[in-house]
Amino acid sequence: MELPYAEPFRIKMVEEIRQSTREEREQWLKDAKFNLFNLKSSQVYIDLLTDSGTGAMSDRQWGALMTGDESYAGSRSFEELHNTVQKITGFKYLLPTHQGRAAENVLFSVLVKDGDVVPGNSHFDTTKGHIEIRKAHAIDCTIDEAFDINDLHAFKGNINLEKLEEVYKSHPKEQIPFCLVTITCNSSGGQPVSLENMKAVKALSDQYGIPVFFDSARFAENAYFIKKREAGQENRSIKDICKEMFSYGEGMTMSSKKDGLVNIGGFIALNNEEVFRKASNFTIIYEGFITYGGMAGRDMAALAVGLDEATEFAYLESRISQVEYLGNKLIEYGIPVQKPIGGHAVFIDSLNFLPNVSRAEYPAQTLGLEIYKEAGIRTVEIGTLLADRDPETRENRYPKLELVRLAIPRRTYTNNHMDYIAAAVNNVYERRDEISKGYNITWEPEILRHFTVHLEEA
């Protein structure tokens, strides 16, 4: 008989987690102002809030921590990281930062100014925040198929070339600092971008003299989907595909807490020496010296190993297969999810799940809270709360999709946990008709409100 699939690793350390009662969870939510970010980790049984910095490192990474060079300038660990990044991406210059949003802050301080527009494929929350806080505008040019959860388009992260060219035609070149391609595209459901689309975006952008940059937090997962789904790519290595992907851009920002397989860190990688020199000044101001940029040497050493491990097929097959396993379980229960299943998370369509909850009462947040009350599982809203208010009108922005993201930490949970999650979500689904009220905001900050917002029951 054919042997079943088994993970390409064995477990060396475990961490105890504790289940709570529904009564405890309901009180904790009240204390947290119905914001899942405000919960203590000890109050969470299975934590799917994010896949950012929540994964398990390998023995090789833990070993690298012990050999990290903590020199302030020119450390050996920086050299190791620089060489690894250059080998995988082809970019010449490297600026470490303490995490991905810090990389955005440094790079956008150089490139983005008041009145600019930044086209791309569904910019994520901190990206849009860094653009809008500079009084610029993010313009979503994602293909329309991304907003139909049942459309099985293999590359729902793709940029619509007609939408992109319209941006290029309708704005002066001086107002478009770059086109940003997010790989994979988190806001559309962890969906990948094809090599063909990247190449076309690069060619079109070159015609108008607009540079292309990548938001690369999940670039290795994107390369895996290219290998599995794009014609002619099946026999290539992940590292080879990554090198070609990045050849279609001028640079990248990276949250290393995702496909870097570490708990903290980020970086900017570039080919343009002038941009590198300007960004170096902001790195020194905001982060630290240019050869550590807010990272300890030991963390750079672990990241160098993590980038190498994350760009191997066996690891990616194990990681993405687990996400797909959970997604297929939910589909079996009839639960509406974004299809095909993305790379790092399963995204539930709350508008179809909770049709009786008004959009003004935040159905995705409501669903996330119900899942927590049911089973102690923490998820995150990717909907109207995250979309925030229009910076000029201060009215709610209602995105095309109201999603609850179940982000799976890397190398952390077993498929038994996935079965538990699926059963819990199904329990909520079976009583969905009883849920007709959502939540109202009692306090919110000026920007990126979903992290700290206070809510009350409607």
Listed in sequence order, the residues at least 6 apart from 129 whose beta carbon sits closer than 8 Å to its beta carbon are: 388, 447, 448
Contact 88, 311 (CB under 8 A): yes
Listed in sequence order, the residues at least 6 apart from 137 whose beta carbon sits closer than 8 Å to its beta carbon are: 116, 117, 118, 131
Q: Tokens representing 432?
A: 């969905």
- SS3 call for 417: helix
Residue 208 burial (CB < 10 Å; 0-12/13-18/19+)?
A: middle
Listed in sequence order, the residues at least 6 apart from 392 whose beta carbon sits closer than 8 Å to its beta carbon are: none
Q: Which sign, positive or negative, has the C-alpha torsion 330, 362, 36, 266?
A: positive
413 catalytic residue (yes or no): no
In the chain, domain spans:
22-51+313-457, 59-311
pLDDT value of residue 215: 97
Q: Which sign, positive or negative, has the C-alpha torsion 18, 337, 154, 169?
A: negative
pLDDT value of residue 390: 80
Listed in sequence order, the residues at least 6 apart from 231 whose beta carbon sits closer than 8 Å to its beta carbon are: none
156, 258, 339, 344: the active-site residue: 258
372 catalytic residue (yes or no): no
Please choose, from the candidates 74, 19, 16, 11, the residue with its C-alpha nearest in 3D space to the C-alpha of residue 376: 19
pLDDT over 90 percentage in the chain: 92
Q: Which residues pair with 95 in a beta bridge?
A: 268
d(CA 383, CA 388): 9
**Arithmetic mean of pLDDT over the chain:** 96
Is the predicted pLDDT of residue 391 greater than 90, yes or no? no
Q: Tokens representing 344?
A: 């790092």
In this prediction, residue 115 has a pLDDT band, given cuts at 50, 70 and 90, of very high
pLDDT digits (tens, 9 = 90+) for 180-239: 999 999 888 899 999 999 999 999 999 999 999 999 999 999 999 999 999 999 999 999
In this prediction, residue 392 has a pLDDT band, given cuts at 50, 70 and 90, of confident
Q: Tokens representing 233?
A: 């790519």
Distance in Å from the first CA to the final CA of the chain? 56
Quickly list H helices, 9-92.
22-31, 59-66, 76-89
In this prediction, residue 141 has a pLDDT band, given cuts at 50, 70 and 90, of very high
47, 116, 140, 215: the active-site residue: 215
Mean pLDDT of 411-438: 97
47, 51, 125, 299: the active-site residue: 125
Contact 96, 256 (CB under 8 A): no
d(CA 404, CA 388): 16
Sheet holding 251-255, edge to edge: 93-97, 266-270, 251-255, 212-215, 179-182, 117-120, 137-140
Determine which helix (DSSP H) or strand (DSSP E) holds 346, and give its type and residue range. strand 345-349
124, 214, 224, 267: the active-site residue: 124
d(CA 457, CA 46): 24
377-332-21 Cα angle (round to 5)? 25
pLDDT digits (tens, 9 = 90+) for 51-64: 999 999 999 999 99
Phi-psi region of 55 (alpha: psi -120 to 50; beta: other; left: phi over 0): beta
User: Can you give the pTM of this predicted structure?
Assistant: 0.95
pLDDT digits (tens, 9 = 90+) for 439-450: 999 999 988 899
pLDDT value of residue 446: 87
pLDDT digits (tens, 9 = 90+) for 266-322: 999 999 999 999 999 999 999 999 999 999 999 999 999 999 999 999 999 999 999
What single string gives the DSSP state of each residue in 121-188? Answer: SS--HHHHHHHHTTT-EEEE-B-GGGG-TT---TTTTPBPHHHHHHHHHHS-GGG---EEEESSBTTT
125 catalytic residue (yes or no): yes
Return contacts of 441-449, CB within 8 angstroms, 24+ apart: 442/33, 443/33, 447/129, 447/132, 447/133, 447/388, 447/391, 448/125, 448/126, 448/129, 448/388, 449/385, 449/388, 449/389
Q: Which residues pair with 138 in a beta bridge?
A: 118
In this prediction, residue 158 has a pLDDT band, given cuts at 50, 70 and 90, of very high
286 catalytic residue (yes or no): no
Mean pLDDT of 344-361: 96
354-427-367 Cα angle (round to 5)? 35
Mean pLDDT of 124-141: 93
Assign 3-state DSSP to the chain and report helix, strand, coil percentages, each to 5. Answer: 45, 15, 40
Residues in the chain: 458
217, 223, 279, 304: the active-site residue: 217
248 catalytic residue (yes or no): no
151 catalytic residue (yes or no): no
pLDDT over 70 percentage in the chain: 100
Is the predicted pLDDT of residue 393 greater than 90, yes or no? no
398 catalytic residue (yes or no): no
Mean pLDDT of 172-183: 97
In this prediction, residue 50 has a pLDDT band, given cuts at 50, 70 and 90, of very high
Please choose, from the candidates 121, 113, 118, the residue with its C-alpha nearest in 3D space to the C-alpha of residue 167: 118
CA distances in angstroms from 37 to 16, 104, 297, 350, listed in the order given: 21, 22, 30, 19
